[in-house]
């Protein structure tokens, strides 16, 4: 009976949300440099701290020589510690603007409305401040942080032998000389590999992007050491998560998936109970605002050193429910050619960074293509991701809290 009432409440809030969002669809501001977006977040965070004396703000320089910081806001629950919601943004620097805008939107419009009696919040802004500032996906040591969240350093020695087979395709070791011709050349090499190299397209994708620890100048490099971002993230997590029964961690990304779609990719380690709870939260009656995926869904993949599996690995068998979710806003589409085009943009940006460009015009074009891959300037895309983010905070998040009362 209680369950039925709950469902009606959800339906009503959904109706209100649809009505309101049709009147109020202003897109979040995405085309701003890192320090500007950080300031906007910090202004909001400081306001929270001034209103609530038990809230804490942690500022940590990750790249001291460039004064690039990660900012973390902790808002404890009002009555008792039961649930903790963690929102993190900018793990992939170039994908930072949307995640940053989402955190600010949360503080501006939802932080006060959401039921915080037994739920605390922990917000990580600029997990990879170097990448966010420079427009790169990776950190100051070319590490893909979402392959670097490991608990023991032997995880950084995992062998990706399939990557080695195609390494020459993924990491050309000379200046960028063209875009179109280089793309056709890459398509030819991939086709050759699929036809004569005994690799399926899924194996090719998994090998390329799953993570590698052998080529420091290569794409999807997970690093030889744990990055300062991961060390700091871990310190804060260990300080706070032990007090909570239920932990929801959402890490914001852009790039993979259908344009404007919010793909919620559940972490590999969710158990049956947690998966069932997530199916109740995301029950698909409001499915136009999101799609539930896993690393095994068509077009997606498993990675090593993933941030959304990190808290579970840290906590071991603590008995806590830990829901790791990647909130990925798609841009280019999941078709094979869309994915190869995205891969080519990532290859060229990395190649240009390490080996340079034949001329400035090429550099501008490659960087623009790379930026568009993660931050489309299309107002239609921006409007849709804003609506999906509002739905996530306005409807899905309160549902998760309600189900863990």
Q: Which residues bind Zn ion (CB under 5 A)?
A: 92, 95, 253
In angstroms, what is the C-alpha Rg of the chain?
21
Q: For the residues of 315-342, what is the DSSP string, one character each?
A: H-S---EEEEEEEEEESS-SSHHHHHHH
CA–CA separation, 267 and 327 (whole Å)? 11
Enumerate the β-bridge partners of residue 83.
119, 246
User: Phi/psi zone of residue 331: left (φ > 0), alpha (ψ -120 to 50 degrees), beta?
Assistant: alpha
User: Which tokens go with 145?
Assistant: 């942080």
Locus of tokens 């001329």: 359
For Zn ion, the closer of residues 253 and 399 by Cβ is 253
- The minimum distance between CB 139 and Zn ion, in angstroms, equals 13
For Zn ion, the closer of residues 257 and 394 by Cβ is 257
User: Phi/psi zone of residue 33: left (φ > 0), alpha (ψ -120 to 50 degrees), beta?
Assistant: beta
- The minimum distance between CB 325 and Zn ion, in angstroms, equals 13
- The minimum distance between CB 259 and Zn ion, in angstroms, equals 16
- The minimum distance between CB 47 and Zn ion, in angstroms, equals 29
For Zn ion, the closer of residues 92 and 125 by Cβ is 92
For Zn ion, the closer of residues 116 and 263 by Cβ is 263
Of the candidates 302, 309, 280, the residue with the CA atom closest to the CA atom of residue 292: 280
Of the candidates 194, 219, 180, 199, the residue with the CA atom closest to the CA atom of residue 346: 219
Locus of tokens 């950190």: 139
Enumerate the β-bridge partners of residue 292.
264
- The minimum distance between CB 382 and Zn ion, in angstroms, equals 18
Contacts of 180-184 with CB under 8 Å at 24 or more apart are 182/344, 182/348, 183/341, 183/344
CB 270 within 8 A of CB 313: no
- The minimum distance between CB 312 and Zn ion, in angstroms, equals 19
- The minimum distance between CB 268 and Zn ion, in angstroms, equals 16
Provide φ and ψ at 33, rounded to 5°: -70, 160
Provide φ and ψ at 204, rounded to 5°: -60, -45
For Zn ion, the closer of residues 95 and 139 by Cβ is 95
- The minimum distance between CB 255 and Zn ion, in angstroms, equals 6
For Zn ion, the closer of residues 263 and 391 by Cβ is 263
- The minimum distance between CB 401 and Zn ion, in angstroms, equals 26
Q: What's the sign of the alpha-carbon dihedral 339, 340, 345, 347?
A: positive
For Zn ion, the closer of residues 330 and 398 by Cβ is 330
For Zn ion, the closer of residues 92 and 399 by Cβ is 92
CA–CA separation, 167 and 190 (whole Å)? 11
For Zn ion, the closer of residues 93 and 120 by Cβ is 93
């Amino acid at each position: 009976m209680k369950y039925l009432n709950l469902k009606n409440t959800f339906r009503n809030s959904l109706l209100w949300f649809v009505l309101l969002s049709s009147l109020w669809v202003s897109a979040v501001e995405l085309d701003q440099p890192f320090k500007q977006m950080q300031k906007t977040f910090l202004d909001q965070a400081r306001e929270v701290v001034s209103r609530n004396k038990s809230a804490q703000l942690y500022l940590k320089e990750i790249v001291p020589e460039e004064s690039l910081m990660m900012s973390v806001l902790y808002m404890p629950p009002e009555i008792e510690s039961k649930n903790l919601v963690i929102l993190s943004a900018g793990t992939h620097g170039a994908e930072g603007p949307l995640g940053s805008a989402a955190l600010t939107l949360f503080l501006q419009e939802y932080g006060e409305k959401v039921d915080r009696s037994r739920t605390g919040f922990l917000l990580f802004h600029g997990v990879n401040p170097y990448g966010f500032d420079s427009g790169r996906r990776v950190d100051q040591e070319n590490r893909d942080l979402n392959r670097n969240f490991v608990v023991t350093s032997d995880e950084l020695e995992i062998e990706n032998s399939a990557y080695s087979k195609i390494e020459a395709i993924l990491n050309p070791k000379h200046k960028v000389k063209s875009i179109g011709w280089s793309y056709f050349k890459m398509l030819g090499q991939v086709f050759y590999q699929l036809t004569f190299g005994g690799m399926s397209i899924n194996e090719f994708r998994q090998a390329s992007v799953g993570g590698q620890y052998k080529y420091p100048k290569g794409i999807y490099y997970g690093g030889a050491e744990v990055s300062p971002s991961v060390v700091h993230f871990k310190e804060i997590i260990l300080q706070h998560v032990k007090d909570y029964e239920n932990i929801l961690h959402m890490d914001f990304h852009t790039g993979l998936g259908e344009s404007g779609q919010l793909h919620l990719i559940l972490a590999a380690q969710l158990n049956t109970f947690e998966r069932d709870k997530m199916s109740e939260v995301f029950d698909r009656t409001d499915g136009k605002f999101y799609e539930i995926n896993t690393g095994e869904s068509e077009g997606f993949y498993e990675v090593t050193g993933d941030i959304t599996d990190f808290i579970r690995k840290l906590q071991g068998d603590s008995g806590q429910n830990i829901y790791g979710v990647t909130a990925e806003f798609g841009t280019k589409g999941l078709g094979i050619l869309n994915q190869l085009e995205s891969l080519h943009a990532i290859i060229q940006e990395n190649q240009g960074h390490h080996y340079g460009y034949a001329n400035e015009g090429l550099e501008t074009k490659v960087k623009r293509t790379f930026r568009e891959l993660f931050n489309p300037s299309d107002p239609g895309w921006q409007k849709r991701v804003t609506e999906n983010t509002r739905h996530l905070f306005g409807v899905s998040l309160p549902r998760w809290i309600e189900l863990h009362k």
